[in-house]
Amino acid sequence: MMRYLAGRLAGMIPLLFGITLICFFVIHLAPGDPAQFLASMNPKFSETAHEKFVKMYGLDKPIYEQYWIWLKRVAVLDFGDSFTPDGKSVTTKIVERLPVTIWLNVAGMALIFLIALPLGVLSAYKKNSIFDKSVTVFVFIGFAVPTFWLALLCMYYFGVIKGWLPISGLTSYNFDSMSFGGKVADILWHGFLPVFLSVFGGLAGLSRYARNSMLEVLGEEYIISARARGIPERKVVFRHALKNALLPVVTIIGLSVPGLIGGSVIFESIFGIAGMGQLFYQSVMSRDYPVVMGILVIGAVLTLIGNLISDISYALVDPRIRYGRK
Amino acid sequence: MIRKLLVCLLVLTLFACGQKDSKNSGKEESFKKRDIKGAVTGDAFVESSLGDATGLIMNITSDSASHSVTSKIYNGLVEYDKDLNIVGDLARSWDITEGGKVIVFHLRKDVKWHDGKPFTAKDVEFTYKFMIDPKTPTSYDADFRLVKSFDVLDDYTVKVTYGEPYAPALISWSMSVLPSHLLEGQDVAKSPLLRKPVGTGPYKFLEWKAGESITLVANNDYFKGRPYLDRYIFRIIPDTATTFLELLNGAIDTMGLTPLQWTKQTDTNPRFTSQYDKYQYLSFGYSYIGYNLAKPMFADKRVRQALSYATPKEDIIKGIMFGLADVATGPFKPGTIWYNPNVKKYEYNVEKAKALLEEAGYKPGKDGIMAKDGKKLEFELMTNQGNTVRQSICEVMQKSWEKIGVKVNIRVLEWATFINEYINKQKFDAVVMGWNITNDPDMYDVWHSSNCGGQKLNFVCYKNSELDKLIIEGRKEFDPEKRKVFYHKAQEILAEDQPYTFLYVPQALVTISKRFHEVSPAPAGISYNQDDWWVKKEDQKYNYQQ
Amino acid sequence: MAGSRLLKKAKGSYLLYSGLIIVVFFIVLAVFAPLIATHDPTAINFDEVFLPPSSVHFFGTDELGRDVFSRCVYGSRISLFVGFVAVGISLAIGVLLGLLAGYIGGITDLIIMRIVDIMLCFPSFFLILAVIAFLSPSVFNVMAIIGLTGWMGVTRLIRAEVLSVRTRDYITAARVQGVSGVKIMLKHILPNVMTPVFVTATLGIAGAILTESSLSFLGLGVQPPTPSWGNILTAGKDNIMFAWWLSMFPGLAIFITVMGYNLLGEGLRDVLDPKN
Q: Residues of B with CB below 8 A from A169's CB?
A: 212-213, 235, 237, 251
Report if residue B277 sits inside a domain: no
- Evaluate if residue B314 carries a pLDDT over 90: yes
CB count in 10 Å sphere of residue B110: 16
Average pLDDT estimate for B251-271: 89
Read off the CATH number of the domain in which B460 is found. 3.10.105.10
In a shared domain, residues B402 and B521:
no
In a shared domain, residues B344 and B480:
yes
pLDDT in tens, B47-65: 998 888 888 988 887 778 8
User: Could A147 and C251 be called an inter-chain contact, meaning their C-beta atoms sit closer than 8 Å?
Assistant: no
Q: Residue A33: which pLDDT band, with cuts at 50, 70 and 90?
A: low
Q: Which of A226-240, B325-339, C214-228 has the highest mean pLDDT?
A: B325-339
User: Could C210 and A146 be called an inter-chain contact, meaning their C-beta atoms sit closer than 8 Å?
Assistant: yes
pLDDT in tens, B145-185: 899 999 999 999 999 999 989 989 999 999 999 999 999 88
Average pLDDT estimate for B511-535: 92
| pLDDT higher at B79 or B418 | B79
- Evaluate if residue B7 carries a pLDDT over 50: no
What's residue B93's pLDDT? 94
C226 vs B: CB within 8 A: no
Average pLDDT estimate for B117-131: 95
**pLDDT tens-digit profile, chain C (276 residues):** 455 666 666 666 778 888 999 999 999 999 999 999 999 888 888 888 888 999 999 999 988 889 999 999 999 999 999 999 999 999 999 999 998 998 888 899 999 998 998 888 888 888 888 888 887 778 898 999 999 998 998 998 888 888 887 777 777 888 788 777 778 777 777 777 777 888 889 989 999 999 999 998 888 888 777 889 998 998 888 888 788 899 999 999 999 999 999 999 888 887 876 554
Looking at chain A, which residue has its C-alpha nearest residue B242? A270
In a shared domain, residues B495 and B519:
no
What's residue C144's pLDDT? 92
Question: How far is residue B516's CA from residue B511's CA, in Å, rounded to a whole number?
Answer: 11
What's residue B493's pLDDT? 95
What's residue A32's pLDDT? 56
- Evaluate if residue A44 carries a pLDDT over 70: no
Q: What CATH number belongs to A98-317?
A: 1.10.3720.10
Q: How far is A212 from chain C (nearest CA, A)?
A: 10
pLDDT in tens, A2-31: 777 788 788 888 888 888 888 887 777 666
pLDDT-above-70 percentage for chain B: 93
- Evaluate if residue B357 carries a pLDDT over 50: yes
What's residue B27's pLDDT? 38
- Evaluate if residue B83 carries a pLDDT over 50: yes
Looking at chain B, which residue has its C-alpha nearest residue C240? B241
Q: Residue B407: which pLDDT band, with cuts at 50, 70 and 90?
A: very high
- Contact assessment for residue B250 and residue B275, using Cβ atoms and an 8 Å cutoff: yes
Give CA separation, B512 vs B25, B215, B254, B311, B508, in Å. Answer: 25, 19, 4, 35, 13
Question: How many cross-chain Cβ pairs, A to B, lie less than 8 Å apart?
Answer: 146
Which of A40, A56, A157 is the best substitution to test chain B (most B C-beta atoms within 10 A)?
A40
Q: Residues of A with CB below 8 A from B239's CB?
A: 269-270, 272
User: Could A42 and B139 be called an inter-chain contact, meaning their C-beta atoms sit closer than 8 Å?
Assistant: yes
Within B220-269, residue ranges assigned H as helices are: 240-248, 259-264
Q: What is the mean pLDDT of chain B?
A: 87
CB count in 10 Å sphere of residue B53: 25
What's residue B128's pLDDT? 95
User: Could C63 and B260 be called an inter-chain contact, meaning their C-beta atoms sit closer than 8 Å?
Assistant: yes
Question: How far is residue B335's CA from residue B341's CA, in Å, rounded to a whole number?
Answer: 9
User: Could B4 and A167 be called an inter-chain contact, meaning their C-beta atoms sit closer than 8 Å?
Assistant: no
In a shared domain, residues B38 and B182:
no
Looking at chain C, which residue has its C-alpha nearest residue B316? C46
Which of A168, A175, A176, A288 is the best substitution to test chain B (most B C-beta atoms within 10 A)?
A168
Average pLDDT estimate for B432-439: 90
The residue length of chain B stands at: 546
Average pLDDT estimate for A124-135: 87
| pLDDT higher at C91 or B9 | C91
What's residue B454's pLDDT? 67
Average pLDDT estimate for B6-14: 35
Question: How far is residue A183's CA from residue C210's CA, in Å, rounded to a whole number?
Answer: 36
Report if residue B438 sits inside a domain: yes
Topology (CATH level 3) of domain C75-272: MetI-like fold (1.10.3720)
User: Could A167 and B246 be called an inter-chain contact, meaning their C-beta atoms sit closer than 8 Å?
Assistant: yes
What's residue B102's pLDDT? 94
> What are the sequence ranges of the domains in chain A?
2-74, 98-317
- Contact assessment for residue C109 and residue C101, using Cβ atoms and an 8 Å cutoff: yes
Give the DSSP H or E segment for C270: helix C244-272
- Contact assessment for residue A23 and residue A4, using Cβ atoms and an 8 Å cutoff: no
Which of B136, B196, B233, B245 is the best substitution to test chain A (most A C-beta atoms within 10 A)?
B245
Q: Residues of C with CB below 8 A from B391's CB?
A: 224-225
User: Could C64 and B265 be called an inter-chain contact, meaning their C-beta atoms sit closer than 8 Å?
Assistant: no
Q: How far is C114 from chain B (nearest CA, A)?
A: 34
C52 vs B: CB within 8 A: no
- Evaluate if residue B18 carries a pLDDT over 50: no
- Evaluate if residue B30 carries a pLDDT over 50: no
Read off the CATH number of the domain in which B146 is found. 3.90.76.10
Strands of the sheet with B363-364, listed across from one edge: B363-364, B370-372, B375-376
Q: Residue A106: which pLDDT band, with cuts at 50, 70 and 90?
A: confident
Report if residue B292 sits inside a domain: yes
> What are the sequence ranges of the domains in chain C?
75-272
Q: Residue A109: which pLDDT band, with cuts at 50, 70 and 90?
A: confident
- Evaluate if residue B539 carries a pLDDT over 50: yes
Average pLDDT estimate for A281-303: 84
Which of B133, B160, B188 is the last residue before a domain boundary?
B188
User: Could C123 and A261 be called an inter-chain contact, meaning their C-beta atoms sit closer than 8 Å?
Assistant: yes
- Evaluate if residue A40 carries a pLDDT over 50: no
What's residue B176's pLDDT? 94
Q: How far is A177 from chain C (nearest CA, A)?
A: 34
pLDDT in tens, B206-239: 999 888 899 999 999 999 999 999 999 999 998 8
In a shared domain, residues B423 and B295:
yes
Q: Residues of A with CB below 8 A from C72's CB?
A: none
Q: How far is A98 from chain B (nearest CA, A)?
A: 12
What's the total number of domains in chain B? 3
Residue C37 in 3-state DSSP? coil
Task: Show Cβ contacts of residue A16 under 8 Å, excluding neighbours closer than 6 positions.
Answer: A301, A304
In a shared domain, residues B125 and B249:
no
Question: How many cross-chain Cβ pairs, A to C, lie less than 8 Å apart?
Answer: 142
User: Could A272 and B236 be called an inter-chain contact, meaning their C-beta atoms sit closer than 8 Å?
Assistant: yes
Q: Residues of A with CB below 8 A from C259's CB?
A: 140-141, 144
In a shared domain, residues B341 and B476:
yes
In a shared domain, residues B55 and B23:
no
What's residue A28's pLDDT? 74
- Contact assessment for residue C222 and residue C75, using Cβ atoms and an 8 Å cutoff: no
pLDDT in tens, A246-290: 777 777 776 677 766 666 788 888 898 888 888 898 888 777 888
Which of B11, B240, B264, B266 is the best substitution to test chain C (most C C-beta atoms within 10 A)?
B264
Q: Residues of A with CB below 8 A from C274's CB?
A: none
- Evaluate if residue B353 carries a pLDDT over 50: yes
What's residue C64's pLDDT? 85
DSSP β-bridge partners for residue B232: B45, B216
User: Could B211 and A48 be called an inter-chain contact, meaning their C-beta atoms sit closer than 8 Å?
Assistant: no
Q: How far is B39 from chain C (nearest CA, A)?
A: 37
Residue whose C-alpha is closest to residue C149's, from C135, C131, C128: C128
Q: Residue A319: which pLDDT band, with cuts at 50, 70 and 90?
A: low
Looking at chain B, which residue has its C-alpha nearest residue C236? B241
Chain A contact partners (≥3 CB pairs within 8 A): B, C
C232 vs B: CB within 8 A: no
What's residue C3's pLDDT? 57
In a shared domain, residues B360 and B455:
yes
B58 is in which domain, residue-wise?
Answer: 33-73+201-253+515-546
